[in-house]
Structure 1
Amino acid sequence: MTFRAPSGGPSRRDVLALAGLSGLGLPGPDAHALTPPKKVLRYAFRVAETGFDPARISDLYSRIITAHIFEGLYTYDPLARPARLKPLVADGMPEVSDDFKVWTMRVRPGIHFSADPVFKGQPRELVAEDFVYSWKRFADPEVASPSWSELEELGILGLAEYRASLLRTKTPFDYDRPIEGLRALDRYTLQIRLRETRPRLMEVFAQIDTYGAVAREVIEGYFGETMEHPVGTGPFVLAAWRRSSLITLNRNPHYRERYYDAQPAPDDKEGQALLARFKGRRLPMIDQVQVAIIEESQPRWLSFLNGQFDFLERTPEDFIQQVLPQGRLAPNLASQGIQAYRALLADVLFTVFNMDDPVVGGYTPARVALRRAIALATDCGREISLGRRGQAIPAQSPYLPHTTAYDPAYKSEMGDFDPARAKALLDLYGYRDRDGDGWREDPDGRQLVLESLTTPDGFQRQIDEIWQKNLAAVGLRVQFRTGKWPENFKALRAGHYMIWSLAVSAAKPDSQDALASFHSGHVGASNYARFRLPALDQLFEQAAGLPDGPQRLALFRESKRLATAYMPYKYRGHRYVTDLAHPWVQGYRRPLFAMHWWECVDIVGAPPPRPE
């Protein structure tokens, strides 16, 4: 099957969709929206989006969209390595008290939200109160934000206490009620007051895909439909959306004057070349982005080769040998001017166990032994070499490359493949084959069947088959429950699963987020395992308030030991990815942590679009 992406200009169907946007509450058609765009970036996501309300989403692909629609106070320099924060809508860097408990920031005057019918034809300026309102939404029980635990951990004075009172009294959130630690001092000045020391607060709010400013009028005007109606101050606006099929964003015609600027390291030749070429260019440089959803690897790959897509994010592992034989770009691709960008991601592949599940969960020695046996029986090396075609390195801990607690020299049981030790553990704790059918039973004699969520794509089937054979070799039977990724993720968040294998990416340089996956306060959010252990809670809370340095790194080392001992997660690998771009896509560099990059690329000399 060959997927044919939409042509460079809008089709009749797209024009009709644009003409009806005002009925959907999206920006109404204007001359810009209905003029065929000149510079279009076309590519595909491998996983469907869930929606575009920053307070309600947590999945990667929805966040890529919101990162281009909304803006936060700070962001990351697009070329700096290592990562460096810089103002985005803030007027300079924050003023911070000596104890890191009081943060004062100013919003730059003259920044406006994109046009929308809720503003009744009037320009709507971004002000400090918009950030107060936006961040209050994370505490609203009715919003049920998956990111609330992260904001709660900051200890903003009065916010968690107010939320707790609403949960007790079952009353709605009063957005006009003052919160001691979250105030607009004047039209453009925002102040945050914290209960505890938080030296890295800026990294949290630099996640513009999540903590970007929304306008109260939009949220109230589209009550119950905020996932479909994103309105921000960013460089792009949502123009059309066919759920799980096609997302179209147009350049924001009223975007402020913003120009390409960066500070790459002096010895960064690639970064210096990009700066020399693009410095001073007005952003964004392209007119439209069309994002298709194609879950299967082959049609996504073929659509790029055929020129129907301009960019291929994460070359499918199935085809990596065709792209990089012997580690170099294939001659047939190089002759077409195709560019390859290979990088070690700040991510981790892992298998998660539901600690509330009666089969694999719990803290008794037998349940711990079962999880550790499953981990020891998992041949991550084979998964990497065969399933992932060598495009990963083994993981030894929860911590991700490019983050503070990652140590490439660290080694632990987390990275071991030892079926003999797995069998010994199972035997020792009573998981034996009592009836001689080749499969082990539970210590109480009941049938033992593991169940893992999975997705229906061919690549995941290869990974599942390797793992299924690994477990069968030690007498453990696993069955798979297939569902679309968004459906599986809902089950994960609700705790309605036994096992699942997935990946997470770092949103900021600090490793606190990875440690949060063990914190009891993050159950239902980033603590996918629903793990609860006072010792790890204490480590998390201590690390949050310490400055970077040896004492804090010692806490992270202890967390690695406890993570391996209890094994709520089996960390399997950190991925290399190779992004590909046709020669007309210029200026691309994969961000380390930021989700947004479309505004920093240009389309120059693209051929006419292929007919559908």
Structure 2
Amino acid sequence: MNIRHWVRATSLVLALGGLLAQQPAAAAGPPPAEKVLRYAFNVAETGFDPAQVSDLYSARVIANIFDRPYKYDYLARPAQLRPSLAEAMPVVSPDYRTWTFQLRKGIYFADDPAFHGRKRELTAADVVYSFKRFFDPATKSPYYDTLAGLKPVGLEALRARAESSGHFDYDAEVEGVKALDRYTVRFQLAEPRPRMLYQLADSLTGSVVAREVVETYGDRIMEHPVGTGAFMLQSWRRASQLTLVRNPNFREEYFDGTPAADDAQAQAIAARLRGRRLPMVDKVVISIIEENQPRWLAFLNGEHDLVELPATFVNQAAPNGTLAPNLAKRGIGMARVPSTDVTMLFFNMTDKVVGGYSADKVALRRAIALALNSEEEVRLPRRGQAIVAQSFIMPNTSSYDPKWRTEMGSFDPARAVALLDMYGYTDKNGDGWRDMPDGSPLVLYYDSSGRSDSRELDEVMKKNLDAIGIRLVLRLGQWPEQLKAARAGKLMVWALGDAGTSPDSAEVLQYMYGGAIGELNFARFSLPAYDALYRKQQLMPEGPERDAVLREANRLLVAYMPYKARVHRVLTDMWQPWLVGYMRHPFARDFWRYVDIDTARESEARP
């Protein structure tokens, strides 16, 4: 363009600008509707420090605030691991002792005053620090034994020095976990650990924290989670409501997945969402609603987008496993999946009534287990939404065999009575209740939440024990306090559950490992033969030989009965027609980033 044409074009633009300036400003369009995911927990959270938390509900929040070197493919079944913070899958030595990976560059923590106004990049030193925290005695991590079982070189010695000096030296270099440069991490293990990668993908043991955040907040770190994940905590009313918002520093990530060819649900999700920037929702609001009825009503009223259907309402909402017509008409989605979990009772092995390893104590625990009718539990309070557990090996894990049968799943009250009579647990004063062999009362103290669903389970348990003459006394309390008391060895009998976080069938067996007493071993069970099997299987790759070791470990648990496995739950998820992309994963807990809210349909369909 020559100078004359340029002058004429410029004059025209200026003239048009003057005319436009005299016109009313065009009305700005309305801002896009905020996308909010709303649902409820049925148990209160405890806090949000990955190294201190052991409950499922807090772990779900942590999974979305923090990130890990590896993650599960959201759509792949069976489960498959993919890089997350890491650039690629790790380089692993042939003997499974050395694991090396590089972190992606340009990943940043959410902004926090602990960083003094600077943008804080995640580095290899953060992975090293986060892993070391599990070994610091001051952290009192329930996962210390799990990670100590990996045998990272030098970390046990570092912990021992801290126990004697009162100070854990985070700056001491150890071979077990080491930053080779700003972005490269190497784990060096003293023994083979073929499943090390599962710990680097776990929402607790794999989550990466920043040292300055932990040191800034100290004892209040459970209240101040700062991670590199898709969301960050905005507000928290304990045991009432949590609000999380999109982390503006979250890295550039897009929806992807590898659905199986015969998985229609996963294929449809992939077709609709592939390539979308994550996360797709702006905010997540979680209410704590312990009772089933108000939680279910909140979903029916459109106040929540997702619900795990309480068993109490399964016959109305999904009779015979089919979505009720009134819900189908509303466009409600439904999926029933076997849960990777096991519910159980533990007996405190140090308790003077139910604890101990002598024949009479073993007989008492086995008699109690034989008297508990797990099939009745499945049929009545659980409304068919479970299967009787024959062992602690969970569905969806590598060694699970649905055809295996053991005494753990048996209901045999006649045999229970015979065991009690044989070892002197008889009614000695004629009041209709059995006494201890020494004549003192035989009373089981069982701590429960008192919620409506728990009451139904408690009623079945009490009826079963009444039938063999054992007195059961219920003590009601709040779950977080009961958890603390259980860990301290102050409860006689308590119910709990474990949800698997990986395909490893032996993950749950740490609850019975002697080295985990005071942490995950609530029963305080200590048996050298069992501990030897637990350690042996850690060295073995997947396969029939390892399966045989796991079965032998489970046989010892049947013989001594420190825990009674009850059921594996079957979960029925329901979601509103405007919730897009939801699909329960058997292990991953970070689904928030993968779902979307169709705000147009929400405004049309919300009741």
**If the length of structure 1 is used for normalisation, what is the TM-score?**
0.92
The residue type paired with residue 378 of structure 1 is L
Q: Deviations over 1:30-87 (max 9, x none)?
A: xxxxx99710011110000000011110100000000000001001101111111100
Q: Which residue pairs with 1:4 in the alignment? A: none
Q: Which residue pairs with 2:156 in the alignment? A: 160
* SS of structure 1 residue aligned to 2:139: coil
Q: Deviations over 1:476-522 (max 9, x none)?
A: 00101111111111111111100011211101110121221221011
Q: Which residue pairs with 2:292 in the alignment? A: 297
State whether structure 2 residue 524 is matched by structure 1 residue 530. Answer: yes
State whether structure 2 residue 119 is matched by structure 1 residue 123. Answer: yes
Query: Distance in 2 between the 1:492 and 1:66 partners?
Result: 23
Query: Contact 1:68 / 1:596 at 8 angstroms: preserved in 2?
Result: yes
Q: Deviations over 1:352-401 (max 9, x none)?
A: 11111111011000000000000010011111101111100100001100
State whether structure 2 residue 54 is matched by structure 1 residue 58. Answer: yes
Aligned counterpart in structure 2 of residue 338 of structure 1, from 323, 332, 337: 332
Query: Contact 1:308 / 1:609 at 8 angstroms: preserved in 2?
Result: no
Q: Which residue pairs with 1:11 in the alignment? A: none
Deviation at 1:609, TM superposition (A): 11
Aligned counterpart in structure 2 of residue 80 of structure 1, from 76, 81, 87: 76
Q: Which residue pairs with 1:234 in the alignment? A: 229
Q: Which residue pairs with 2:498 in the alignment? A: 504
CA 1:606–1:115: 2 relative to 1, 3 Å = farther
Query: Distance in 1 between the 2:538 and 2:262 partners?
Result: 33
State whether structure 2 residue 273 is matched by structure 1 residue 278. Answer: yes
The residue type paired with residue 329 of structure 1 is L
* SS of structure 1 residue aligned to 2:453: helix
User: Within 5 A, what are the aligned runs for 1:40-189?
Assistant: 40-167=36-163, 169-189=164-184
Aligned counterpart in structure 2 of residue 560 of structure 1, from 546, 554, 566: 554
Q: Deviations over 1:515-560 (max 9, x none)?
A: 2122101112222211111111111111001111121111011112
Query: Distance in 2 between the 1:514 and 1:431 partners?
Result: 32
Query: Contact 1:438 / 1:475 at 8 angstroms: preserved in 2?
Result: yes
Query: Contact 2:347 / 2:493 at 8 angstroms: preserved in 1?
Result: yes
Deviation at 1:205, TM superposition (A): 1.3
Q: Which residue pairs with 2:248 in the alignment? A: 253
Query: Contact 1:73 / 1:206 at 8 angstroms: preserved in 2?
Result: yes
State whether structure 2 residue 584 is matched by structure 1 residue 590. Answer: yes
* SS of structure 1 residue aligned to 2:497: strand
Query: Distance in 2 between the 1:534 and 1:294 partners?
Result: 42
Query: Contact 1:66 / 1:210 at 8 angstroms: preserved in 2?
Result: no
Query: Distance in 2 between the 1:372 and 1:441 partners?
Result: 16
Query: Distance in 2 between the 1:303 and 1:326 partners?
Result: 23
Query: Contact 2:372 / 2:411 at 8 angstroms: preserved in 1?
Result: yes
Q: Deviations over 1:87-109 (max 9, x none)?
A: 01101010111111011111010
Query: Distance in 1 between the 2:62 and 2:357 partners?
Result: 39
Q: Which residue pairs with 2:18 in the alignment? A: none
State whether structure 2 residue 350 is matched by structure 1 residue 381. Answer: no
Query: Distance in 2 between the 1:236 and 1:289 partners?
Result: 9
State whether structure 2 residue 594 is matched by structure 1 residue 600. Answer: yes
The residue type paired with residue 217 of structure 2 is Y
CA 1:183–1:362: 2 relative to 1, 3 Å = same
Query: Distance in 1 between the 2:483 and 2:131 partners?
Result: 24
Percent same amino acid at aligned positions?
Answer: 52
Query: Distance in 1 between the 2:595 and 2:560 partners?
Result: 45
Deviation at 1:267, TM superposition (A): 2.1
Q: Which residue pairs with 2:15 in the alignment? A: none
Query: Contact 1:454 / 1:480 at 8 angstroms: preserved in 2?
Result: yes
Q: Which residue pairs with 1:311 in the alignment? A: 306
Unpaired runs of 5+ residues, structure 2, are 1-30
Query: Distance in 2 between the 1:547 and 1:326 partners?
Result: 40
State whether structure 2 residue 283 is matched by structure 1 residue 288. Answer: yes
Query: Distance in 2 between the 1:584 and 1:356 partners?
Result: 52
CA 1:574–1:548: 2 relative to 1, 3 Å = same
* SS of structure 1 residue aligned to 2:380: helix
The residue type paired with residue 556 of structure 2 is L
User: Within 5 A, what are the aligned runs for 1:352-367?
Assistant: 352-367=346-361
The residue type paired with residue 388 of structure 2 is P
Q: Deviations over 1:232-286 (max 9, x none)?
A: 0000010010011000000112211100111112222221221111111110000
The residue type paired with residue 265 of structure 1 is A
Query: Contact 2:228 / 2:249 at 8 angstroms: preserved in 1?
Result: no
Query: Contact 1:45 / 1:61 at 8 angstroms: preserved in 2?
Result: yes
State whether structure 2 residue 408 is matched by structure 1 residue 414. Answer: yes
The residue type paired with residue 231 of structure 2 is F
Deviation at 1:461, TM superposition (A): 0.7
The residue type paired with residue 365 of structure 1 is A
Query: Distance in 2 between the 1:149 and 1:608 partners?
Result: 50
The residue type paired with residue 157 of structure 2 is E
Query: Contact 2:65 / 2:226 at 8 angstroms: preserved in 1?
Result: yes
Q: Which residue pairs with 1:405 in the alignment? A: 399
Query: Distance in 1 between the 2:360 and 2:567 partners?
Result: 26
Q: Which residue pairs with 1:199 in the alignment? A: 194
CA 1:202–1:177: 2 relative to 1, 3 Å = same
Query: Contact 2:365 / 2:561 at 8 angstroms: preserved in 1?
Result: yes
Query: Contact 2:158 / 2:169 at 8 angstroms: preserved in 1?
Result: no
* SS of structure 2 residue aligned to 1:62: helix
Query: Contact 2:199 / 2:205 at 8 angstroms: preserved in 1?
Result: no
Deviation at 1:326, TM superposition (A): 2.1
The residue type paired with residue 248 of structure 2 is P
Deviation at 1:180, TM superposition (A): 2.0
State whether structure 2 residue 325 is matched by structure 1 residue 347. Answer: no
Query: Distance in 1 between the 2:260 and 2:268 partners?
Result: 11
Query: Contact 1:68 / 1:209 at 8 angstroms: preserved in 2?
Result: no
Query: Distance in 2 between the 1:606 and 1:187 partners?
Result: 47
The residue type paired with residue 581 of structure 2 is G
CA 1:479–1:130: 2 relative to 1, 3 Å = same
Q: Deviations over 1:161-205 (max 9, x none)?
A: 2112221x2321111111121110000000000010001100111
User: Within 5 A, what are the aligned runs for 1:475-494?
Assistant: 475-494=469-488
Query: Contact 2:498 / 2:508 at 8 angstroms: preserved in 1?
Result: no
* SS of structure 2 residue aligned to 1:540: helix
**RMSD over aligned Cα, in angstroms?**
1.4
Q: Which residue pairs with 1:541 in the alignment? A: 535
State whether structure 2 residue 219 is matched by structure 1 residue 224. Answer: yes
The residue type paired with residue 577 of structure 1 is L
Q: Deviations over 1:387-419 (max 9, x none)?
A: 111100100001100112211010011111111
Query: Contact 1:128 / 1:188 at 8 angstroms: preserved in 2?
Result: yes
Query: Distance in 2 between the 1:443 and 1:36 partners?
Result: 72
Query: Contact 1:345 / 1:576 at 8 angstroms: preserved in 2?
Result: yes
Query: Distance in 1 between the 2:209 and 2:195 partners?
Result: 23
Query: Distance in 1 between the 2:399 and 2:523 partners?
Result: 21
Query: Contact 1:63 / 1:210 at 8 angstroms: preserved in 2?
Result: no
Aligned counterpart in structure 1 of residue 447 of structure 2, from 450, 453, 459: 453
